[in-house]
Structure 1
């Protein structure tokens, strides 16, 4: 591997931004610059730990940009990797929903996407799988258990959207949205979900098997859209130590009181609030009730969010950056990234703060993305 010297920039180290240089060697942050190392002039730029995204499902738009219009998973993965690097994301957990719905979130798509990921590796960044298992998807349980055991799953999320979808069936617009995603007529979708809901008594046992498999494999677990303290207690009892997108402030507070990570969406911060009318992430993060931000449905928001928080004046950029790098890395059990200390993975993003705009993304100590502006700065 080639050594690198990123010189002249403002480097985020030990929780503070300060002028300095960063050395990369043999895939890691190094104590000193190697002889003959290539130089990137980072004058006027920020040198930051790479972004760690523990829930991003924007790849779904690469798979199905319009309802009923699909593209091959291999093409979607290639496109997604390019977009992730352009957003400064060096570790990406693809939020892959394994649902009882046909089409985009089906077992068939899961199998195709897992095969495409296997074929595409090694990728220029660390791409992992966040399995978002829909509670009622009993037909897919054995596949999920096998893929967890095989090491293809790196984070398990407990999803249960069936009750909320059932409540929306009386709204023709909402019904059409779900039916279109599944490639069904509204009538067929209604018949499908009503049949699914009729077997809810089998969900707890299936959920328990998934939790046992994840614990055996040593992968973190999270709950999704916890509405009540009872929801959080249930998933905590299964071993889920991450609370993702809590629907009530008291749920976030309860998770924090138990030392659990609380995840909310970076788009919420960038837009100034939830598109669903739920709690606003930025003020909760400023109060310590949100500890991790994820890209959710929009990868570029993960880079923008810390700058948006810094502009609010309650958190400095260094402190806000922890929400998108150090904290998600810790929540996912990845102790080798999220900071620019010697011996850590050489995952680095070089950013023009005026945008903010990514000029270069280094993954494992090597440049995975160099824009034209970055190439002009090479020495």
Structure 2
């Protein structure tokens, strides 16, 4: 990959050398990446002898990971059931630190507009979460590049009034349409929902009453609210629309008709195949890969990867799973490492409209992560965003 046209090192360049550099097509050994003014200026398939070059000691060098759907910030705002952390800014910064330490340099914080389980306190947290992310950005204290993904729970009676103040916000770049009503999509198997809600302490009669209430809400609101949310985002050419937990061909057809371009967490192979054939990017959970299956009993992400139906991954509720999943796919099903890495970087960046990142290639943003392996586990050692070390 080196050539006579490769620019010579200039004062102020960051030179990372003696690394296994994962490019879009290859893993280059003992390679060098030159960073200048926050961009990748050169990629050479040979070590550098320039004084001051940083020796990565044969560790991997990957593009910074791109996360388009993480619920992880909620854990910092509500670290215990019913407990809201008193400083929203501190909660965001703690979340950001764990995101960056996991090798994620671009993150779409998935914030719920509406809720589908009692006691989640998501309505109370929403305004504080959005304001705190903006505050942290303004203060320059964030390591990763943060954007907003608003998750619209269409069967919630209040979703439209919750979403309306934010639908023109320029930080909102991704909107997903969700319906977690029991008996369909993610909760097709009611027994899995009963297990998920086991901490509520409900009796069987109380659980069944709650299901009836949610089914009534869906019948009353879901179709109408879906149309209203779509109408609000229709004029935003910078917003990417995703559908969530597609289970049937009809779900995918509806999403295509509405202009969605991403199918998040399809629950069946049929839905994933239909979405893939329709040109929707398919996203599955990285915990599904690492754990060897879905906690809801849905289709295996590894199986979809084997069938060529997986385009990208989301860490969902475990930030560290994103990097682990990329290497797990390479180890377990012999997926080429560049292909697995693209599922957590370039492919996702393209889906969310950020093609300037996610690849180690000349001209791309210098978002990079140094990775070592200990006992086979890939671990981030250093992280750079725009050529500046942040971890």
* TM-score greater than 0.5 by the shorter chain: yes
Residue 106 of structure 1 corresponds to 122
Residue 106 of structure 2 corresponds to 91
Query: Structure 1 pair 233/105, CA: closer, same or farther in 2 (3 Å)?
Result: farther
Residue 387 of structure 2 corresponds to 365
How far did residue 208 of structure 1 move?
Answer: 1.8
Asked whether 1:264 is paired with 2:284, we answer yes
Asked whether 1:201 is paired with 2:217, we answer no
Between stretches 41-50 and 1-10, larger displacement belongs to 1-10
Select 2:85's aligned residue among 62, 65, 71: 71
Residue 230 of structure 1 corresponds to 250
Asked whether 1:21 is paired with 2:40, we answer no
How far did residue 321 of structure 1 move?
Answer: 0.8
Between stretches 292-301 and 72-81, larger displacement belongs to 72-81
How far did residue 102 of structure 1 move?
Answer: 6.3
Residue 349 of structure 1 corresponds to 369
Deviations 1:126-170 (A, max 9, x none): 111111111123424134133121223121111111334798599
How far did residue 179 of structure 1 move?
Answer: 7.8
CA distance in structure 1 between the partners assigned to 2:341 and 2:192 by the alignment: 42
Residue 297 of structure 1 corresponds to 317
Counterpart contact for 2:153–2:180, Cα < 8 Å: yes
Select 1:276's aligned residue among 296, 302, 313: 296
Residue 52 of structure 1 corresponds to 66
Query: Structure 1 pair 225/119, CA: closer, same or farther in 2 (3 Å)?
Result: same
CA distance in structure 2 between the partners assigned to 1:96 and 1:26 by the alignment: 33
Between stretches 200-209 and 276-285, larger displacement belongs to 200-209
Alignment TM-score, normalising by the size of structure 1? 0.87
Residue 142 of structure 1 corresponds to 161
Counterpart contact for 1:211–1:239, Cα < 8 Å: no
Select 1:240's aligned residue among 239, 260, 266: 260
Query: Structure 1 pair 23/127, CA: closer, same or farther in 2 (3 Å)?
Result: same
Deviations 1:188-244 (A, max 9, x none): 995797278347333323212322332321211111111211111112211111111
Unpaired segments of 5 or more residues in structure 2? 1-10, 45-49
Alignment of 1:167-206 (within 5 A): 175=197, 177=199, 194=213, 197-198=216-217, 200-206=219-225
Alignment TM-score, normalising by the size of structure 2? 0.84
Residue 143 of structure 2 corresponds to 124
Deviations 1:14-41 (A, max 9, x none): 31111311111111111389xx995321
Select 1:306's aligned residue among 326, 351, 359: 326
Query: Structure 1 pair 171/89, CA: closer, same or farther in 2 (3 Å)?
Result: closer
Structure 2 SS opposite 1:217: coil
CA distance in structure 1 between the partners assigned to 2:193 and 2:243 by the alignment: 27
How far did residue 361 of structure 1 move?
Answer: 0.5
How far did residue 357 of structure 1 move?
Answer: 1.3
How far did residue 90 of structure 1 move?
Answer: 0.5
Structure 1 SS opposite 2:92: helix
Structure 1 SS opposite 2:167: helix
Asked whether 1:158 is paired with 2:173, we answer no
Query: Structure 1 pair 102/353, CA: closer, same or farther in 2 (3 Å)?
Result: same
CA distance in structure 2 between the partners assigned to 1:174 and 1:32 by the alignment: 47
Supply the RMSD in Å over aligned alpha carbons.
2.9
Structure 1 SS opposite 2:68: strand
How far did residue 187 of structure 1 move?
Answer: 6.0
CA distance in structure 1 between the partners assigned to 2:243 and 2:256 by the alignment: 8
Structure 1 SS opposite 2:62: strand
Structure 1 SS opposite 2:318: coil
Query: Structure 1 pair 168/176, CA: closer, same or farther in 2 (3 Å)?
Result: same
How far did residue 103 of structure 1 move?
Answer: 5.2
